Amino acid sequence: MMKPVYREIPASPGYFTLLAGLGLLCAIGLGSAWYMEHFGHVVTGMTNQIVWGMPHVVAVFLIVAASGALNIASIGSVFSKAAYKPMARLSGLLAIALLAGGLAVLVLDLGRPDRLIVAMTSYNFKSIFAWNIFLYIGFFVVVGVYLFVQMARGFGRYMKPVGWFAFVWRLMLTTGTGSIFGWLVAREAYDAAVMAPLFIALSFSLGLAVFLLVTMLICRFSDREVGEHLLRRLARLLGVFSGCVLYFTAIQHLTNLYASEHQGVELFILVEGGLYTGLFWIGQILFGNLVPLAIVFHPAMNKDQMRIMLASFLIVLGGLAQIYVIIIGGQAYPLVLFPGMEVSSSFHDGAIASYTPSLPEIGLGLGGVAIALIIAWIGVKVLRIMPVSLSDAAVDPHHRPA
């Protein structure tokens, strides 16, 4: 195995065309945020019943994927897998970029971004949201230091201890994000301790899927080789993570079905929920997990870059569907104000809430994705993040030419 050589990706018309397209999406996101601030959240699909809408779905997706995107760096430095080390820098950069995009959506959805000052200066330590602020800020710092020790000369001996610290921190971050829902006892769809490990598994799956898509996109733009054996190894790892998501999803719903107080919301999500039921079975389970699993473990399919990109893209869409069902579907089911009683009122108590994402909400979500990709796209242009080759001979110490 040769020592990897890192180079910035070259400037090209394609590079600037993609950058301009991402800039346009970012402008749409900023325009959507201004529109929602100027006219109020009445222009969105959100209501008093559905207070977390499409922007929150995208924000949670990006935050969860940010934690998982760091997994490649952790495997390389913490678990000493040499084949993953050349990709560790991109792993760290993408983790920072995704978290920045997710938090940008949350801040812009506040209606008045200056309210962030209140959130940063007044803390309620009984709230998991206050804890997450420290976890998010700490993640930027920890991953920034992690990138520094990887890229600076003479700091290689610190890579493993810093990598361990980053590994533990990202587990805490995803646990905190999952606990937002797991500790919300008022919502029957959320109240479950399994939410924390489910979100950790989801972060591994979504983070690796996004990492694979971005890596193959960069390599195609910069004419860099990706080894077939390396790609197959990453695809199988993606399949393992996807299987873990299926396992914890099954545990979540089986546990809720066992508890009589949660059987109503389970019947709603799994059978009677209309859009939410369709998203769960078709978007999340079938196309978001089972089809990608078939692709990445099929010996003829997991050698092809386009099919692996398709599997990664389907996992991304399946993850969005799963988070949508968790966040929106969990709010659509009515609060149980008086257990064992039937409740109705002019305030829609006891009724299934309706929600349709508005164009400004979708635009704001796309803007957050664009911010994340712009950070990563500029980063690989101005910094030595990408190795000149990801061929099997360059990254795999046990590679033997055919």
The tens digit of pLDDT for each residue in 186-207 reads 777 787 888 999 999 999 999 9
Q: What is the per-residue pLDDT for 401?
A: 54
In angstroms, the CA 388 to CA 9 distance is 9
Residue 154 has pLDDT above 60, yes or no: yes
CA atoms within 13 A on the CB side of 138: 17
Query: How does residue 215 score in pLDDT terms, banded at 50, 70 and 90?
Result: very high
In angstroms, the CA 91 to CA 171 distance is 16
Structure tokens at 79: 């678990």
Residue 279 has pLDDT above 80, yes or no: yes
Structure tokens at 318: 């399946």
Q: What is the per-residue pLDDT for 11?
A: 85
Taking alpha carbons only, the member of 257, 222, 237 closest to residue 308 is: 237
Query: How does residue 344 score in pLDDT terms, banded at 50, 70 and 90?
Result: low
Which amino acid is located at 402 in the chain? A
CB atoms within 10 A of CB 203: 29
Query: How does residue 113 score in pLDDT terms, banded at 50, 70 and 90?
Result: low
Q: What is the per-residue pLDDT for 341?
A: 61
What are the beta bridge partners of residue 226?
390
Secondary structure letter of residue 51 according to DSSP: -
Taking alpha carbons only, the member of 254, 249, 257, 314 closest to residue 286 is: 314
Structure tokens at 191: 């109240």
Write down the mean pLDDT value for the chain.
Answer: 87
Give how far Cα 50 sits from Cα of 47, 294, 331, 348, Å.
5, 36, 6, 12
For residues 313 and 320, is the Cβ–Cβ distance under 8 A? no
In angstroms, the CA 46 to CA 41 distance is 7
Structure tokens at 76: 């390389």
- Please compute the mean of the pLDDT values over residues 173-184 and round it to a whole number: 86
Which amino acid is located at 297 in the chain? F
In angstroms, the CA 279 to CA 101 distance is 25
The reply to whether the predicted model has a pTM over 0.95 is no
Query: How does residue 276 score in pLDDT terms, banded at 50, 70 and 90?
Result: very high
CA atoms within 13 A on the CB side of 379: 22
Residue 8 has pLDDT above 70, yes or no: yes
Residue 120 has pLDDT above 80, yes or no: no
Query: Which of 29-43, 206-220, 340-354 comes out lowest in average pLDDT?
Result: 340-354
For 22-335+346-383, CATH number? 1.20.1630.10
